[in-house]
Amino acid sequence: MLYHRIILAVDLTDESIKVANKAASLCQATGAELTILHVIESLNYAYGGDVPIDITDIQTQLQETAKERMSILEAQIDVAKKETCVTQGGIESEIHRIAEEKQADLIVVGSHCRHGLALLLGSTANGVLHGAPCDVLAVRVTKD
């Protein structure tokens, strides 16, 4: 199966380049268009709307930092057609929403090796897999 539109969902950690390189390789092999996506989990969403202070400045700063890091990541990968998107909300639901909006054939996410309690509670990659509108590739990333 050839892919035409790939969503690369990154958390902007140092390991993101490994996941990005895998997505770039797939794009080069299939001629697919790439959308690089980062979701900032809204503090209101993360805390169930019970944030007693005005978090507008914090959210704005998170957006600016994410856009800067996305520019750096975008410059590090070699793909002809690419678009970046920084959005805010629930991580899995936003990845699903953007994948549907872009009519993606594949979502590429990093899968960190989790152990213990983190493994039992699940991961973002697992959350993306369930309910995704297309194929999902979880790229195993480890700290070197």
- CATH fold, domain 5-141, is Rossmann fold (3.40.50)
**Which amino acid is residue 64, in one-letter code?**
E
Per-residue pLDDT of the chain (144 residues; tens, 9 = 90+): 689 999 999 999 888 999 999 999 999 999 999 999 999 987 655 555 555 666 678 888 899 999 999 999 999 998 877 899 999 988 999 999 999 999 999 999 988 665 444 444 447 777 888 889 999 998 888 766
| pTM, to two decimals | 0.84
Look at residue 59 in the predicted model and tell me its pLDDT.
81
Where are the domains positioned within the chain? 5-141
